[in-house]
């Protein structure tokens, strides 16, 4: 089964989509990677879902990616004596370390790290930004704030801090436990880190993961945007998590930030995923709004590696229809006459390395000679991701002896990954590449393909060889 589109689709699993039958339907409708949200999933349930996905993978005989999304720190106010309090615009309101139930004048904030980090002038957004405060005086025991936008505040509502850098890890004890459980399955491809603020948060996670899975950084905090270049460099992939980002920053800034992040990731050759509310109305309706279709189309036109469904596939009434709709939108955009010119206009210059020069040359040669495919031999996925960074017109076939690499490449733009045993020598590389291109229906008799690889084989980042070959009957003619 080969996708007829370049952009990949992530589908979140949940109550509406966790049976083996539904997972297979979602895959056949277009899902390439499945997301398991640890905010709502126990370890036992996570293991069951991982096994279900792997069973479906065996059934469809194609690699499927699995993303485990860690919850991250959830910052919340304490409880009120009467369950809630009405905050009036202009009044003062105190958040403190006193565990006594709150009232209209104060509430417990069970996060000493916040009280220590807050400074006068910092904003506090409560209940998904519905209530807005500004800190006026701060001590490690209490912050007295002015209510700028009032409203009803009830027990355990969330706190967002767009101006405050909290000097604690982005990984909570729950995240550490969830991460260890996920890695113990030996079957997880990506780990998503929530509420990352600084590069050190990524380093901490990588020290634990030790290469067992790719690290996906979710950009949800304004603080992360100030160090975006460093964060992209350290990450294996990036998710534009527009939901929480839109709470902590003015909504009208989010589209521009989405473009900024997408282009930064494309320059770096790191997969970038656009997420949150892409087909939100399909939670309850069988068709999306025109604005939602345009939103998905914009992400595809920008050259994002993947687009993601959250509640639409996890808890909605039409999960299969949502995936099928996203697939249809993507295919129509990629066949649009303006698509190629928009993608090419954002093309990044290759970095000053031999491997990047080889990948750029492969794209140029493939387009100049109108070749049938770009074929990459890759042990760890590096060569294939470099080919994807070029956003070529031709299909990209990644040949790898590693099942783990094949699964991770399910997230990479335009990459059709095929698991195969390791090549013996250069002739074997060329012969098998042509045979597989023909078997996969990507090249036919008389077509030409271009093959890139690293010699010696299985050396990460050693892409240094290009070969053009004719696919001709049962033998190969080499240029």
Residue 382 bears catalytic tag: no
Selected catalytic residue, list 106, 132, 218, 221: 218
From the list 52, 143, 276, 382, the catalytic residue is 276
**Strand ranges inside 156-205, DSSP E:** 159-160, 190-193
Cis-peptide into 456, omega within 30 deg = yes
Place of tokens 């590696």: 305
Q: What distance in Å separates the CA atoms of residue 252 and residue 281, rounded to the nearest whole number?
A: 20
Nearest of 246, 200, 202, 205 to residue 222 by alpha carbon: 246
Identify whether 106 is a catalytic site residue.
no
The DSSP result for 215-254, as a single string, is: EEEEE-SHHHHTTHHHHHHH-SEEEEEHHHHHHHS-GGGH
25 CB burial (10 A radius; 0-12, 13-18, 19+): middle
- The single residue of 3, 5, 6, 35 carrying the catalytic annotation is 35
Classify residue 457 by its DSSP letter.
Answer: T
With tokens 């939103």, the residue in question is: 295
Among residues 468, 460, 469, the alpha carbon closest in space to that of 402 is found at 460
* 205: CB partners within 8 A, 6+ apart: 170, 171, 179, 191, 193, 215
The residue annotated as part of the active site, out of 47, 74, 76, 157, is: 76
Question: Is 276 considered catalytic here?
Answer: yes
SS3 for 311-329, per residue? HHHHCCCCHHHHHHHHHHH
168-177 burial, b at 16+ Cβ within 10 Å, e below that, comes to ebbbbeebee
Task: Count CB-CB contacts under 10 A for residue 69.
Answer: 27
Q: Please identify which residue in the block is written with the tokens 């260890």.
A: 180
User: Read out DSSP for 277-319?
Assistant: STTGGGGTSSS--HHHHHHHHHHHHTT-SEEEESHHHHT-S-H
Instruction: Give the whole-angstrom CA distance, residue 66 versus residue 55.
Output: 13
Structure tokens at 251: 């909504």
221 catalytic per annotation: no
Per DSSP, the chain holds a count of helices (H) and strands (E) of 17, 22
For residue 142, the cross-strand partners are 96
What Cα–Cα distance (Å) separates residue 21 from each residue in 9, 55, 326? Answer: 19, 11, 20
| Residues catalogued as catalytic | 35, 76, 218, 276
């Amino acid at each position: 089964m080969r996708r007829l589109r370049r952009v990949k689709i992530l589908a979140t699993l949940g109550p509406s989509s966790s049976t083996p039958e539904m997972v297979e339907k979602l895959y056949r409708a277009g899902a390439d990677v499945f997301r398991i949200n640890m905010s709502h999933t126990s370890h036992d349930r996570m293991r069951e879902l991982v096994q279900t996905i792997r069973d479906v993978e065996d059934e469809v005989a194609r690699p499927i990616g699995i993303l485990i999304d860690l919850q991250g720190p959830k910052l919340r106010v304490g409880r009120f004596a009467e369950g809630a309090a009405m905050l009036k615009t202009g009044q003062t309101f105190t958040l403190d370390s006193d565990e006594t139930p709150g009232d209209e004048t104060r509430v417990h904030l069970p996060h000493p790290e916040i009280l220590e980090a807050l400074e006068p002038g910092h904003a506090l957004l409560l209940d998904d930004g519905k209530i807005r405060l500004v800190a006026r005086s701060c001590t490690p025991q209490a912050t007295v704030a002015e209510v700028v936008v009032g409203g009803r505040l009830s027990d355990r509502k969330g706190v967002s801090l767009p101006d405050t850098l909290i000097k604690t890890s982005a990984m909570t004890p729950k995240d550490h436990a969830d991460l260890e459980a996920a890695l113990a399955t030996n079957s997880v491809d990506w780990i998503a880190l929530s509420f990352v603020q600084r590069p050190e948060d990524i380093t901490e996670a990588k020290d634990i993961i030790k290469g067992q899975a790719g690290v996906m950084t979710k950009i949800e905090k304004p603080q992360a945007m100030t160090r975006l270049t460093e964060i992209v460099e350290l990450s294996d992939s990036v998710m534009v998590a527009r939901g929480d980002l839109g709470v902590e920053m003015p909504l009208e800034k989010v589209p521009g930030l989405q473009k900024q992040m997408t282009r930064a990731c494309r320059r770096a050759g790191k997969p970038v995923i656009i997420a949150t509310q892409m087909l939100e109305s399909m939670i309850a309706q069988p068709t999306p709004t025109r604005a939602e279709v345009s939103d998905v189309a914009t992400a595809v036109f920008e050259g994002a590696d993947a687009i993601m469904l959250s509640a639409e596939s996890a808890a909605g009434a039409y999960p299969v229809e949502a995936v099928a709709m996203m697939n249809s939108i993507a295919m129509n955009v990629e066949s649009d006459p303006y698509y190629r010119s928009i993608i090419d206009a954002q093309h990044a210059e290759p970095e000053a390395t031999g491997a990047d020069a080889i990948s750029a040359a492969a794209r140029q040669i493939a387009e100049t000679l109108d070749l049938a495919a770009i074929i990459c031999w890759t042990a760890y996925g590096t060569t294939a991701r470099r080919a994807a960074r070029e956003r070529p017109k031709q299909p990209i076939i990644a040949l790898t002896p590693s099942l783990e690499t094949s699964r991770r490449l399910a997230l990479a733009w335009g990459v059709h990954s095929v698991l195969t045993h390791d090549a013996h020598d250069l002739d074997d590389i060329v012969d098998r590449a042509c045979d597989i291109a023909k078997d996969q229906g990507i090249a036919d008799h008389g077509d030409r393909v271009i093959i890139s690889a690293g010699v010696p084989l299985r050396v990460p980042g050693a892409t240094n060889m290009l070969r053009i070959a004719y696919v001709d009957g049962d033998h190969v003619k080499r240029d």
